Amino acid sequence: MTISEFNNCVDLYADSLFRFILKNIKDTEKAKDIVQDTYEKLWVKVSHVESKNAKSYMFTTAYRTMIDSIRKEKKYSTLEQIKEISISTTGATLSLRQNIDKGLERLPEIQRTVLLLRDYEGYDYAQIGEITGLNESQVKVYIYRARIAMKDYLVSIENLI
């Protein structure tokens, strides 16, 4: 990959990479840091990565960097910092977008990740498998389970009233 191809990758994929990470970790500053780390790692490997594989390489690297960051935070978090999920009656006043975001937060990490890669970023099953290190059938199962959980959450009585 040349320097101009690297710059082109930054221009083309920075926004979608940032959105993907932000949807998962819900922290703008951490998402920016992970995207920056991803581009730094790409820069180090710029001579080994072909430009046609750059998008997949970046999403894989960003996903793994995000997982490392989450694991690192979990090691240092205390019980007081753990956020409890509570169902409140104010859910009825939330907009559809807010309900979807709340539903995504309730999903296990791997289900949320594959669902976002499939439905928000438009990757196919094989590409998602490459990014997450899962095989294609595992990806399909996780997406199916995530969609069922989202459907159950979105049509629950608390969200309809």
Using left for φ > 0, alpha for ψ between -120 and 50, and beta otherwise, residue 26 falls in: left
CA dihedral 58, 62, 68, 70 (to 10 degrees): -170
Residues of the chain with CATH 1.10.10.10: 83-161
Token match 């993907």: residue? 20
Residue 14 pLDDT > 90, yes or no?
A: no
Q: Distance between CA 157 and CA 161 in Å, rounded?
A: 6
The predicted pLDDT at position 88 comes to 44
Q: Distance between CA 4 and CA 139 in Å, rounded?
A: 34
Q: Distance between CA 142 and CA 56 in Å, rounded?
A: 20
The predicted pLDDT at position 77 comes to 55
Domain 83-161 fold? Arc Repressor Mutant, subunit A (1.10.10)
In the chain, where do the E strands start and end? none
User: CATH number for the 1-78 domain, one of 1.10.10.10, 3.40.50.2300, 3.30.530.20, 1.10.1740.10?
Assistant: 1.10.1740.10
Instruction: Check the CA dihedral 105-107-108-114 and report its sign.
Output: negative
Q: Distance between CA 50 and CA 134 in Å, rounded?
A: 23
Overall pTM surpassing 0.75 (yes/no): no
Range of weakest confidence among 17-21, 23-27, 88-92: 88-92
Which two structure tokens, joined as six digits, stand for 85? 């999920």
Look up residue 24 and give its amino acid.
Answer: N
- Are the CB atoms for 136 and 39 separated by under 8 Å? no
Look up residue 89 and give its amino acid.
Answer: T
Helix, coil or strand: residue 88: coil
Residue 105 pLDDT > 60, yes or no?
A: yes
Which two structure tokens, joined as six digits, stand for 8? 């082109």
- Give 24-36 pLDDT, tens digit per residue: 888 889 889 988 8
